[in-house]
């Protein structure tokens, strides 16, 4: 998983979830994107505003809880998430 962040000059943050090539099926690809968007939705109250965030998902055997942890940790390490707490942690 990779995170790309840029300031946007707005009073709110925006998110895009994209997948890299190589997903075995559309079902898996769409499920992973849905889980990443839901994680962002649960964490957005703790994010600093004025960012455009792109979450790039790569295929792999990660469980849903592991994907949520990865998104949360990447947002925290990037400085856009105020606290590491939140869902599953």
| 84 pLDDT more than 90 | no
The residue ranges of DSSP E strands in 1-89, in sequence order, are: 2-7, 14-19, 51-57
> How confident is the model over 2-12, as pLDDT tens digits?
999 999 999 98
Residue 34 covered by a domain: yes
What are the backbone angles phi and psi of residue 80, rounded to the nearest 5°? -90, -20
| Token pair listed for 18 | 């994209």
Residue 25 covered by a domain: yes
pTM: 0.83
Domain assignment of residue 9, given as a range: 2-77
Number of domains in the chain: 1
Number of H helices, E strands in the chain: 2, 3
Residue 88 covered by a domain: no
């Amino acid at each position: 998983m990779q995170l790309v962040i840029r300031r946007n000059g707005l009073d709110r943050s925006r998110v895009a979830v994209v997948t890299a090539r190589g997903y075995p099926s559309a079902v898996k690809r769409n499920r992973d994107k849905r889980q990443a968007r839901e994680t962002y939705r649960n964490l957005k109250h703790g994010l600093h505003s004025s960012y455009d965030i792109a979450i790039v998902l790569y295929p792999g055997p990660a469980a849903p809880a592991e994907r949520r942890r990865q998104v949360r940790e990447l947002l925290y390490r990037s400085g856009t998430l105020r606290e590491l707490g939140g869902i599953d942690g």
